[in-house]
Amino acid sequence: MRFTSTAVAFFASIITVSAAGVPDGSYTVTRHSNGTQVFPPVDANAAPIILTPEDLAALRTANRRDMLSSSGLNKLSKRRIDCWGYQLDESGIDAAYQMLANWAGSGRDICSNTPGRQNWHAEISEQMMVYYCVKQSGKCGNADRQDISYAMAQMDSKCRRYEASWFGWPSSFEIVGKGRAGDDVCKGGMDGVPY
């Protein structure tokens, strides 16, 4: 735990940016138990981007004006698709989706091996994000291009096409979702909360 806190403080001293400044690209993200998210770029030797819980709260406040009430959806506790009520940029989502499908290819693993952490892979384009998440510590998942396409089609079947949302396979700890860069995702829970 002490090492984790020290590592997070060290990374935070390297670079901390608001989500509005998260550049386009591929990231394998780690969510720490304190809510901090570390976005190390996959394609470059650049410093990781750190989003603190305060950064994420500011983003939620900024995004709230664009959100529609989803209180009527909150009663469906076993639902494996959730629509968040706000629209996303079409070209950014299309590009991020294509990037995630290409990343997944014929199968890519994501593991959340460390207790208290969830790992996920995000593709960001034009500040829009499509991601694959293993939302349970101690578990690994594998997604391929067909899994990503299936999940996107399932979201589009229940939500408006470019609405922020997520899809999870029944009885699974794996999800695919789409939202804005910096949305507080892959933390679990229901009731209209980003997964």
The pLDDT, as a whole number, for residue 105 is 96
Sequence-distant (6+) residues with CB within 8 A of 93 are: 125, 128, 130, 162, 178
**98 compared with 56, residue with greater pLDDT:** 98
**% of the chain at pLDDT higher than 70:** 74
Give one word for 148, left, alpha or beta, with left for phi > 0 and alpha for psi -120 to 50.
alpha
> What would the pLDDT profile of 41-73 be if each residue is shown by its tens digit?
887 677 888 888 887 777 666 555 444 333 333
Asked if residue 111 lies in contact with residue 134, where contact means CB atoms within 8 angstroms, the answer is yes
**143 compared with 2, residue with greater pLDDT:** 143
The pLDDT, as a whole number, for residue 117 is 79
| H/E element, 188 | none
Sequence-distant (6+) residues with CB within 8 A of 125 are: 24, 91, 92, 93, 95, 96, 99
Among 157, 194, 156, which Cα is nearest to 175's? 194
The pLDDT, as a whole number, for residue 65 is 43
The pLDDT, as a whole number, for residue 188 is 59
3-state secondary structure of 163: strand
pTM, 2 dp: 0.73
The pLDDT, as a whole number, for residue 146 is 97
Would you say residue 157 has pLDDT above 50?
yes
The pLDDT, as a whole number, for residue 59 is 63
Would you say residue 125 has pLDDT above 90?
yes
Would you say residue 163 has pLDDT above 80?
yes
Among 135, 137, 192, 145, which Cα is nearest to 169's? 135
**Residues 136-149: b if buried by 16+ CB within 10 A, e if exposed:** ebebebebebebbe
For the chain, the structural domain boundaries read 2-64+79-180
Between 73-77, 128-132, 138-142, 143-147, the lowest mean confidence (pLDDT) is in 73-77
**pLDDT-derived band at 192, boundaries 50, 70, 90:** very low
**pLDDT-derived band at 187, boundaries 50, 70, 90:** confident
Average pLDDT, the chain: 78
128-134/81-87 β-pairing: unpaired
Q: How far apart are CA 143 and CA 148, in angstroms?
A: 7
